[in-house]
Amino acid sequence: MAETRRIVLTSLFAALAVVLSFIHIPVGPAKVFPFQHMVNALSGVLIGPWYGALAALIAGIIRNVIGTGTPLAYPGGIPGAIIVGLAYKYLRKDWACLTEPFGTGVIGAGLVVLVLSPIMGKEFAFLVIFPAFMASSIPGAMIGYFLLKTLRKTKILEQRQISGA
């Protein structure tokens, strides 16, 4: 039953990220999607690093297909969910949500420079991508953290048997 719940939540998190992807701010070659990072923060804590990463991957694929995303969605989302999920798995603290910018801003931006730039045929400097990713991930992680604290305080997660990965 727990596995089914995680699969359903993965789908719901991916759908939420896609629906909220229409709210974005263009910054250079990137689109700033704070709500994707909010979803990464929540999914990393609630369904774990691998299902959280899967939700980010699914959202990135759908967003690219419908035209609201860019190839930067993959390195910009997946590492953030993984880092949050791993931080929560080992620390069991809700502030693990706030580690999302490390996954996105440091690891994700590094992946863009090392891997995605040659594939896209463009040169992206770390100092160009890093601020754009951080402008998206810091507010998103903070929104996710406060939303998680609110859900815990109102006991909605416990009522729905969704207490953490």
CATH code, domain with 139:
1.10.1760.20
Question: What is the tally of structural domains in the chain?
Answer: 1
- CA of residue 38 relative to chain centroid, distance: 6
pLDDT score for 16: 97
- CA of residue 30 relative to chain centroid, distance: 15
Contacts of 156 (CB under 8 A, 6+ apart): none
In a domain, 46, yes or no: yes
In a domain, 14, yes or no: yes
Question: Which residue ranges in the chain fall short of pLDDT 70?
Answer: 1, 28-30, 116, 119-124, 159-161, 163-165
In a domain, 25, yes or no: no
Question: CB-based burial of residue 17 (10 Å sphere; 0-12 exposed, 13-18 middle, 19+ buried)?
Answer: buried
**What is the extent of the structural domain holding 118?**
2-18+30-159
In a domain, 165, yes or no: no
- Give the side-chain half-sphere CA count within 13 A for 36: 39
pLDDT score for 1: 46
Q: Are 43 and 25 in contact (CB under 8 A)?
A: no
Distances (CA, A) of 101 to 5, 12, 66, 122, 142: 27, 22, 26, 24, 10
pTM: 0.89
